[in-house]
Amino acid sequence: MTKTVIIIGGPTASGKTGLAIRLAQHFNTAIISADSRQCYQEMSIGVAKPSPEELQLVHHYFINSHSIHQDVNAATYEQYALEAAGSIFRSNDTAIMVGGTGLYIKAFCEGLDDIPAIDPAIRQQLNEGFAAYGLAWLQQQVADQDPLYYSSGEILNPVRLIRALEVKLQTGRSIREFQQRKKVSRPFNVIKIGLDLPKEELHERINLRVGLMMEQGLLEEVRSLYPHRHLNALRTVGYSELFDHLDGKISLEEAVEEIKKNTRHYAKRQLTWFRKDQAFEWTAPADWKRVLELCKQDG
């Protein structure tokens, strides 16, 4: 029988984790996470990692698999996830992939283009600029230098912004040109299911989730990671805002509101990315019958 990977994508807080676990139990299989932050052992509350109880229900790959001190990128993920799929396929015809990092899913399904090596001096210059002038400066640089990326990329993620800038400065071309050229064929079928919620409901879920994270101890988690705040892994929504609070730049209340706002913006970007992929079939997270019907399609 042909091997199949069922991919559950969609914006943050749309119910991907719960649905993926239910599907994995239905097919008696394992899950490969496609989340660029849940792989880090040191980050839990702020990345909405599955609970210990959920992780016990189904085996998850790419959760707690790396440290924030390791360099993890789309190329790392491509290799890791292909190996994980191969491992699952030794005993099962179906694997579940779930996550909101569109570039990682793309790398897994289609491969990555070879981007030329970057001069370390360019990278250092950009990192120093970010340290001195902050996210708004980075965003403006990308808007000026690479409007193609700015219109469709993760503009709240400094790591992605720096990556886009360094490629443009090194090659004179948008990183999007490299990401859109080559497709490899994989020895398995892929079924892509996107989770869709009304905007108001999604925003409400995001706001509730952020409140719950604070109740669960997000501030304490961020405080424990404060000495490492310069690391790429920690330059992300939920952590950056609370680092600003700990630095005395904004109040705790302002930081929480910023997290909610930036998470809503991130969710919008995720939807934009996934909707550009015509292979995604969309469904409400609670429509189990429709989800199972989509799982039966021929890749």
As a whole number of angstroms, the distance between CA 114 and CA 109 comes to 16
Strand pairing report for 60-61 and 189-195: unpaired
CA dihedral 23, 24, 28, 34 (to 10 degrees): 140
- Residue 219: phi and psi, rounded to 5, are -60, -40
Where do we find the tokens 């424990």? 224
- pLDDT truncated to tens, each residue of the chain (299 aa)? 789 999 999 999 999 999 999 999 999 999 999 999 999 999 999 999 999 999 999 999 999 999 999 989 888 999 999 999 999 999 999 999 999 999 999 999 998 877 778 888 898 899 889 989 988 999 999 999 999 999 888 888 888 899 999 999 988 889 888 876 667 889 999 999 999 999 999 999 999 999 999 999 999 999 999 999 989 899 999 999 999 999 999 999 999 999 999 999 999 999 999 999 999 999 999 999 999 999 987 54
Instruction: Please state the domain extents for the chain.
Output: 4-112+182-295, 120-179
- Residue with tokens 């579940």, as numbered in its chain: 96
Common-topology check for domains 4-112+182-295 and 120-179: no
Which pLDDT score, from 0 to 100, does residue 208 have? Answer: 98
pTM listed for this prediction = 0.84
Two structure tokens written together for 115 = 């981007």
Superfamily per CATH, domain 4-112+182-295: P-loop containing nucleotide triphosphate hydrolases (3.40.50.300)
CA separation for the pair 122, 198 (Å, rounded): 42
pLDDT of residue 299: 41
Q: Residues 89, 188: contact at Cβ < 8 Å? A: yes
CB 28 within 8 A of CB 34: no
CATH 1.10.20.140 applies to domain 120-179: yes
Pairing of β 94-98 and β 60-61: unpaired
Determine which helix (DSSP H) or strand (DSSP E) holds 7, and give its type and residue range.
strand 4-9
DSSP per residue over 87-148, as a string? HHHTT-SEEEEE-S-HHHHHHHHH----PPPPPHHHHHHHHHHHHHHHHHHHHHHHHHH-HH
- The Cα–Cα gap between 13 and 209 comes to 7
How far apart CA 182 and CA 170 sit, in angstroms, is 20
